[in-house]
């Protein structure tokens, strides 16, 4: 899909959990976490109200992003560049919705029926 499209955050988050090996980078307006061959992505919840995205080297934490549950209103995805799909997670501010988090993946969002062990390999 070349044109931007919108997803509910929970739909996107569930899909993202099955695609950690497809993430190229993730970030906020203030920080960026980059993927690398010796790093892996880990997702968790810190208490029920906070979602956690971590980049680890072995068991060592390289960086993390905390997303307060319920703050992301929607996700907008679009193709950027040759093979990069960027998903911006919008949060509500006093000036209206604005991107608060983003995930760049090697492929676009697709509706999938099932995944082996809950993770896809592309």
C-alpha to C-alpha distances, 116 to 14, 22, 113, nearest whole angstrom: 15, 15, 11
CA of residue 39 relative to chain centroid, distance: 16
- Is 120 in contact with 108 (CB distance < 8 Å)? no
pLDDT confidence of residue 114: 42
**How does residue 4 score in pLDDT terms, banded at 50, 70 and 90?**
confident
Q: What DSSP designation does 14 have?
A: H
**How does residue 94 score in pLDDT terms, banded at 50, 70 and 90?**
confident
Question: What are the strands of the beta sheet with 60-68, ordered from one edge?
Answer: 40-46, 50-57, 60-68
Read off φ and ψ for residue 22, nearest 5 degrees.
-100, -5
**Radius of gyration of the chain measured on its C-alpha atoms:** 14
pTM: 0.86
């Amino acid at each position: 899909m070349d044109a931007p499209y919108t997803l509910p955050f929970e739909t996107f988050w569930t899909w993202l959990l099955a695609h950690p090996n497809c993430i190229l980078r993730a970030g906020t307006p203030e920080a960026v976490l980059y993927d690398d061959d010796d790093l892996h992505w880990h997702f968790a919840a810190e208490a029920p109200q906070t979602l956690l995205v971590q980049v680890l080297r072995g068991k060592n934490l390289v960086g993390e992003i905390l997303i307060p549950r319920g703050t992301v209103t929607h996700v907008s995805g679009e193709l950027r560049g040759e093979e990069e799909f960027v998903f911006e997670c919008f949060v509500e501010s006093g000036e209206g919705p604005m991107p608060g988090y983003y995930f760049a993946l090697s492929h676009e969002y697709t509706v999938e029926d099932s995944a082996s062990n809950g993770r896809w390999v592309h």
